[in-house]
């Protein structure tokens, strides 16, 4: 699973700074139960929906192996 920024499609990694609509800064910690867990300036963890921090989540395995399996599955389903 990957988390990406809406603005430039860059992947979000642990420790990256994210901003809410009021331009408050948060440090990304993890993705849990469909929400992003971040820490505020005071160090307290806070949960946000990805779109509240300008992000989106990719659920599909898009590695080369994952793509090869998907192509093979599509091939046999269309026969």
Domains and CATH numbers, the chain: 2-77 (2.30.30)
pLDDT of residue 61: 61
pLDDT of residue 62: 62
* Run of H or E including 65: helix 64-77
Low pLDDT (below 50) residues in the chain: none
pTM of the complete model: 0.68
Among 7, 4, 17, which Cα is nearest to 50's? 4
pLDDT of residue 27: 95
Q: 36: Cβ–Cβ under 8 A, 6 or more apart, which residues?
A: 3, 18, 28, 30, 47, 48, 49, 50, 53, 55
DSSP string, 17-28: EEE-TT--EEEE
């Amino acid at each position: 699973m990957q988390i990406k920024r809406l603005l430039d499609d860059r992947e979000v990694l642990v420790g990256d700074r994210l901003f809410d609509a009021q331009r408050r800064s948060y440090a990304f910690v993890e993705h849990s139960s469909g929400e992003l867990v971040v820490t505020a300036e005071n160090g307290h963890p806070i949960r946000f929906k990805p779109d509240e921090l300008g992000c989106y989540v990719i659920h599909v395995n898009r590695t080369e192996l994952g793509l090869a399996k998907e192509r093979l599955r599509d091939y046999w389903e269309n026969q």
